[in-house]
Structure 1
Amino acid sequence: MNAVHAATAAPTVESNPILNISIFAAFVAVTLFIVIRASRNNKTAADYYAAGRSFTGPQNGFAIAGDYLSAASFLGICGAIAINGYDGFLYSIGFLVAWLVALLLVAELMRNTGKFTMADVLSFRLKQKPVRMAAAITTLAVCFFYLLAQMAGAGGLVSLLLGIDGRVGQSIVIAVVGVLMIVYVLIGGMKGTTWVQIVKAFLLIGGAIAMTIWVLAINGFNLNTLLEAAVANSDKGEAILGPGLQYGANPWDFLSLGMALVLGTAGLPHVLMRFYTVPTAKEARRSVVWAIWLIGGFYLLTLVLGYGAGALVGADVIAAAPGGPNSAAPLLALYLGGPVLLGFISAVAFATILAVVAGLTITAAASFAHDIYANVIQKGKKDAAGAPVTADPNAEVRVARRTVVVIGILAIVGGIGAQGQNIAFLVALAFAVAASANLPTILYSLFWRRFNTRGAVWSMYGGLAAAIILIVLSPVFSGSPTSMIPGIDIVLWPMNNPGIVSIPLGFFLGWLGTITSRTKESPQLAAEMEVRSLTGFGAEKAVDH
C-alpha cells in the first residue's frame, strides 16, 4: 500500500465509542477483581507495602516491566519516533541502558539493606530524621512528576478512545482515571498493584508483538520497505532516519536528556520499591534480568510501531489527533484492525496507565506514612509514663491510605494542567529529578564509608532544588505554545532537561557536605551496612536504630 494513500485512508476509519467503552469497562472490571482478590491477605504493613515479599524473580520481573513500560514507553516513544524518527528512538535506548546501572550498582544492595522504602537504605547509618525527611520529599517530587506524565497520557488516550475532544472533556477523563487509581491502591495495596502490573505486562507486550507482526506483514516483512514508506509519508523526508532532527540544534540538550535517562532509573523510588517484594537478594537480581529482557524486547518493537505509525497513519494526522503524539499507537491500531483493535490496544494502554499510577501512588504513600509519619513525627514521642511510643503498623497503613487520596487529588489537578505535553518528555523530567536528588545519595550511602548526614541532606535537597528550578526556568515550563504555561515567559535556562547541571551538582553537594562536616557517623553501622548489602545477612531485620 502506498504511503500517500495510507495517510488519507487512516482518518476515514471512525472509532466506535460504545465498543471502546465496553472493552475499557471489561478491563477495569477484570483488574478490579484481581485487586480485590489480592487484597484479602493485606493484614500487615509488609503486606500492604511489599506484598508480603511473596513474589518470585520472574513474577517481579514482569511486574517491573509492567511498572517501567508506562504510558511514556508505549504512547510517548511511539509518537516521538513517528514524528521525529531516530531522535525519538533515543528515549528507548536511554531507558534500556539505564537498567544496567540498576542491575550492577543498586538492585541487590538495596534489597539487602532496606525494608520498605528508599529512605530505609539512605538513613541506615545516618541520622534518621533529617535523612528520612529529605528522602521522603524527593520521593514525593519524583512520583509527582511521573504521575503528571501518566495522567496527561490518560486524558489524551481515553479522549481518543471515546471520541471526546476539548480540554474540558479530557479533564473529566483525567479525574475518572484519578478516582480509579485511588480505588485500586486503597483496596489492593502492593500485592494487588503487582498482579495488575503482571497482567498488564503480558497484555502490553502481546499486543505490541501482534501489531509489529501486522505492520511488518504489510511491508513484506522487510524493514527497509517500512522505512522507505515512513520517509515517503513524512514532510521531513530522510531526516527521520538519522540523528539530529529533534536535538541537532542543541546537542547539549541531548546530552542532558541522555544523562537523565541513563542515571534516572536507579533513583526512581517506585522501581526501587519493587525490589522489596521478593524474598531474597538472588530473586531481586533475577527479577532485574527478566525485566531487562522484557523491556529490551519491547523497545525494539517500538521502533517498528513508531515508524509504522509514521508510514501508515502520517505525522500530520497524529499531531492533529486528541493527545497529539501520544495517539500514534492507538491510531496505528485503528488503521490496522479498525475499532476492535483500537479498543483493545487503548484499553491495554489504559491498564498500563492505571497500573503505573497505582505503583507510583503506593510508593509515595508508603514514603509519607513510613518515613515521615512513623519515623519522623512519631519517633521519639513518649507516653504519660515517659516510655517511648512506637508507631502502630496499623496506624501507619491508615495514614498511607489517607495519603493515597491526597496524592490522587494532586495528580488529577497536575494532570489537567499538563495536557498536550509529550509524556515521554515529561517522564524524562522525572528521571532528571530522580538522578539529581536520589542517585548520588544512594551510591554514596552504599559505597562511601565516610559519607555522612550533612552530605546526604545537601545532596538530596540541592539536587532536587536545582532540577526543579531549572525546569521552571526552561522552555518546558513557559515561553512557547507547547509549554506547560504558554501565557508567560520566564525562560532563563535554554535547555529542556536540567540533568547536565543538576546531576553533577547532586554528586558535588554530597561530597562537599561530607568533607565540610566534622560529624563522624557510627563506624559500626557503616560496617554493618556494608556486610548486609553485600551478603544479605540480617536483611529481614527491621531498619531501626
Structure 2
Amino acid sequence: MNTNAVLNIGIFGLFVAATLVVVIRASRNTKTAADYLAAGRAFTGPQNGIAIAGDYLSAASFLGIAGAIAVYGYDGFLYSIGFLVAWLVALLLVAELLRNTGKYTMGDVLSFRMRQRPVRAAAATSTMVVSFFYLLAQMAGAGGLVALLLGITGKGGQAIVIAVVGALMIAYVLIGGMKGTTWVQIIKAVLLIVGAGVMTIWVLAKYGFNLSTLLGAAVDNAPKAGEKLLGPGLQYGATGTTKLDFLSLGLALVLGTAGLPHILMRFYTVPTAKEARRSVVWAIWLIGLFYLFTLVLGYGAAALVGPDKINAAPGKANSAAPLLAEAIGGPLLLGLIAAVAFATILAVVAGLTITASASFAHDIYANVIKKGEVEDKDAEVRVARRTAIVIGVVSILGGIAANGQNVAFLVALAFAVAASANLPTILYSLFWKRFNTAGALWSIYGGLSVTLVLIVLSPAVSGRPTSMFPTMDFDLFPLSNPGIISIPLAFLLGYLGTVLSKERNPAKYAEMEVRALTGTGAEKATSH
C-alpha cells in the first residue's frame, strides 16, 4: 500500500486546491457577522441538507461503522441505526423551533427568556467542550489514517500531517467563514455519498446483486464469528454489563445529535423555518442512504478482505473501507477513497471550528463581556477569527498528543455531553413554561460535570488494554458510555434547579412560544 502514497497525496491535493478556490470565491460576499457566522442565511433547504449530511458523516461514520460491521456484523450496524434514528428527534423536536427563536448560536435560544450572561456563558462552555472533544477525535483520526493510507508510520510524520490538516482547517474558517465552510461540506458530502455508492454497486455486482449471497460469503470468510456475524450479541452480548453499555451508548447517540452545536448551528444558515425543516428532511434521506451503503460495505469487507486481515492492518477496524477499495478497484480506487476520507476529516473539523469560535465571539465576547453593546460592527467577526486560530492550534496539539491512543471514547463523550448538558436545557427552554435560569445552569453544568467525571472513571480511560491509559487503573464506573446515567440526571437537575428557584417570566415564555411555533418575530431576531 505504501507504493500508492504519492497517488493518494496527489488526489487529496487536488481536492484541497479545488475547495480552497471555492472558499476564496465564497469569502468575497462575507462582510457582516450574519455573513461570517450564519452564511448570510443564503442557503436553500436542499443545499443546507447536503451540508448537514457533510457535517454529520464524519470519518467515524465512513471508516468506523464500515469497520464495525466487517468485524462485528449486526452489532456494528446498530451504530448506523442509532445515528439515523437520532435525526427524527432533531426533526420533530428541535429544528424548526430552534430556527425561529435563535440568531447565531444555541446560547441565543437558551438565554431568550432568562438572565442573559450566566446562561450564555454556560451554553458557550458546553459548546466548546463538545466541539473540542469532537475535534480531538477527528485530528487524532487523521494521524491514524495517515499510517494506513500513506505508509507514514513514524509519530513525527503523522504529527506533521495532523498539523497540515489543522492549518488547512484554520484557513477554510478564516477565509470563508460559515459560507466557505458550508460549500466545503456540500462538496465533501457529494464525494462521500457518490464514492460509497459506487463501491456499494461494485461489491453487489460481484455477488450478482444478491444480498443473501454477499452475507453468506461474509460468514464463510469469518470462521471465528461464523453465523454470529448476522445476529446480535457479537460485540455487546457477552455480559449484562456490555448489554447495558450498548443501551447507554445508543441513548447517547439517539439523543445527542439534537444537542450537537455544530449541527444546531446549521439551522441558522437558511432564510426561514420552512427551509430549516426541508434541510433536515434532505439530511435524513442522504444520511439514511449512506448508512444503507455502510451495511453492504461492511459485509463486503468481511467477505472480500476478512476480519483477520482487517484487524491486522495498522488502523484495525478503521481500515476496512480502504482495504475493500483496494480489493475491488486497485490503487486508483484506494487513492480516491483515501482522498474522500481526508476530505471528510477536513470538512468536519472546519465545521466544528466555526461553531466553537462563533459561540465564543457571539455568546462570551459580544453578550457576556460587552453585555450586548458591541460598538464596532466588525469586532464580533474579528474575535471569531482569532478564536478559530486558538482552537486550531489547541486541536493540533491535542490531536498530536492523542495520536495512537484510543480515541473512540472522545466521539462518544461528545455525544454524551451533548445529550446530557444541551438537550435537556433545549427541550425545557422550548416546552416548559416554568423553566428558569437556575434550571438551565443546573442542567448544563450538572450534565457536563457528571458526564466528564463518569467518563474519566470509566474503562474507556483506564483499566483495560484498549483504554486510553492502559497502565493505570481507576475505572470505578463500569460503563464506557455514561449516557444512561448522565442524561436522566441532567433532566432531573434541570427540574430541581427550576422548582427550587422563585424566578418566573411567563410573559417572556409566551413570546418565545409564539415565535417558536409560528416564526413571528423570528426575522426581526435574526436581522443584523
Structure 2 counterpart of 1:339: 331
Map of 1:218 onto structure 2: 206
Deviation of 1:46 (Å): 0.4
Aligned pair partner of 2:512 in 516, 522, 529? 529
- Secondary structure of the corresponding residue to residue 374 of structure 2: coil
Instruction: Say which of 419, 441, 448 aligns to 1:457.
Output: 441
Partner of 2:236: 247
With normalisation by structure 1, the TM-score equals: 0.93
Q: Provide the C-alpha distance between the structure 2 equivalents of 1:57 and 1:423, rounded to a whole number of angstroms.
A: 33
Q: Distance in 1 between matches of 2:339 and 2:63?
A: 12
List alignment gaps of at least 5 residues for structure 1: 1-12, 381-388
Deviation digits for residues 376-418 of structure 1, max 9, x if unmatched? 01117xxxxxxxx435331111111111111112212222333
Instruction: Return the letter of the residue paired with 1:360.
Output: L
What do residues 168-214 of structure 1 show as CA deviations (whole Å, max 9, x unaligned)?
33222212111111111111100001011111111110000100011
Q: Distance in 2 between matches of 1:406 and 1:86?
A: 41
The reply on whether 1:348 has 2:340 as its aligned counterpart is yes
Moved more, 163-172 or 426-435: 163-172
Secondary structure of the structure 2 residue equivalent to 1:205 = helix
* Alignment of 1:296 onto 2:279: no
- Pair 1:282 & 2:253 matched: no
**C-alpha distance in 2, partners of 1:423/1:72?**
10
What one-letter code is carried by the residue in structure 2 that aligns with 1:417? A
Q: Percent identity?
A: 76
Residue 518, structure 1, aligned to residue 502, structure 2: yes
**Do 1:417 and 1:484's aligned partners in 2 also have CA atoms closer than 8 Å?**
no
SS class of match (1:485): coil
2:415 aligns to what? 431
1: CA distance, partners of 2:344 / 2:178:
16
Q: Contact 1:324–1:420 (CA<8 Å) still a contact in 2? A: no
The farther-off stretch of 484-493 and 445-454 is 484-493
Given the superposition, is the C-alpha separation of residues 467 and 62 from structure 1 closer, same or farther in structure 2, using an over 3 Å criterion? same
Once the two structures are TM-superposed, the CA of residue 245 in structure 1 deviates from its matched residue by 1.3
SS of aligned partner of 2:318: helix
What is the letter of the counterpart of residue 538 of structure 1?
A: G
Instruction: Tell me, yes or no, if the aligned pair for 2:409 and 2:480 is still in contact at 8 Å.
Output: no
Report the equivalent of 1:265. Answer: 257
Q: 1:452 to 1:391 in 2, by over 3 A?
A: farther
Q: Determine whether 1:313 maps to 2:305.
A: yes
Per-residue CA deviation, residues 68-91 of structure 1 (Å, 9 max, x unaligned), is 111111011111111111111111
Question: Hey, what does 1:153 align to over in structure 2?
Answer: 141
SS in 2 for 1:496: coil
Hey, what's the Cα distance between the residues in 2 that align with 1:360 and 1:251? 31
1:374 is matched with which residue? 366
Pairing partner for 1:232 from 214, 220, 226: 220
| 2:44 equivalent in structure 1 | 56
- CA distance in 2 between counterparts of 1:519 and 1:489 reads 44
In structure 2, distance between residues paired with 1:148 and 1:331: 25
The 5 A counterparts of 1:26-425 are 26-234=14-222, 235-248=224-237, 249=239, 250-379=242-371, 389-420=373-404
Partners of 1:172 and 1:320 in 2: CA distance: 25
Partners of 1:220 and 1:543 in 2: CA distance: 53
Counterpart position of 1:6:
none
Distance in 2 between residues matched to 1:476 and 1:110, nearest whole Å: 33
Q: Distance in 2 between matches of 1:176 and 1:40?
A: 25
Kept after mapping to 1: 8 A contact 2:407/2:468: no
Secondary structure of 1:541's aligned partner: helix
Contact 1:470/1:498 (<8 A) preserved: yes
What displacement does 1:331 show?
Answer: 1.3
In 1: Cα distance, 2:407 partner to 2:297 partner: 17
Residues 435-491 of structure 1: CA distance to partner in whole angstroms, max 9, x if unpaired?
000000000000001000000000000001111111111111112222122231111
Deviation by residue 1:208-230 (Cα, 9 ceiling, x = unmatched) = 01000111111221111211221
Output one character per residue of 1:500-534: Cα deviation in whole Å (capped at 9) or x when no partner.
000001100000000000122x2221111111001
Contact preservation (8 Å) 1:155, 1:323? no
Q: Which amino acid aligns with 1:373?
A: Y
Give, in angstroms, the shift of residue 424 of structure 1. Answer: 5.9
User: C-alpha deviations, 1:113-132, integer Å up to 9, x for none?
Assistant: 00000000000000001100
Q: Distance in 2 between matches of 1:211 and 1:421?
A: 30
Q: Decide whether the 8 Å contact of 2:133 with 2:414 is kept in 1.
A: yes
Report the secondary structure of 1:302's partner residue.
helix
Does structure 2 conserve the Cα–Cα contact (< 8 Å) formed by 1:247 and 1:254?
yes
- Tell me if structure 1 keeps the 8 A contact 2:409–2:460: no
Aligned residues between the structures: 523
Aligned to 1:484: 468
* Alignment check: 8 A CA contact 1:128 1:375 kept: yes
Stretch moving more, 182-191 or 414-423 = 414-423
Structure 2: how far apart are the matches of 1:162 and 1:423?
A: 20
Structure 1 residue 543, shift from structure 2 partner:
7.3
**Are the equivalent residues in 2 in contact too, given 1:124–1:543 (CA < 8 A)?**
no
Q: Which amino acid aligns with 1:156?
A: G
Cα deviation 1:11-34 (Å, max 9, x = unaligned): xx6651111111111111011111
What is the identity, as a one-letter code, of the residue corresponding to 2:100? N
Measured after TM superposition, the shift of residue 147 of structure 1 is 1.0
Q: What SS does the corresponding residue of 1:405 show, helix, strand or coil?
A: helix
Moved more, 239-248 or 14-23: 14-23
- Report runs of 4+ in structure 1 exceeding 6 Å deviation: none
Task: Please say if 1:23 is aligned against 2:23.
Answer: no
**Partner letter of residue 49 of structure 1?**
L
Alpha-carbon offset, residue 332 of structure 1: 1.0
Q: Determine the C-alpha separation between the residues in 2 that align with 1:56 and 1:463.
A: 35
Q: TM-score, normalised by structure 2?
A: 0.96
1 CA distance for matches of 2:394 and 2:465?
Answer: 24
- Which moves more between the two structures, 405-414 or 465-474? 405-414
Instruction: Spell out, residue by residue over 1:323-351, the C-alpha distance to the aligned partner (whole angstroms, 9 max, x if none).
Output: 22212111111111111111111101111
Match of 1:16, SS state, is helix
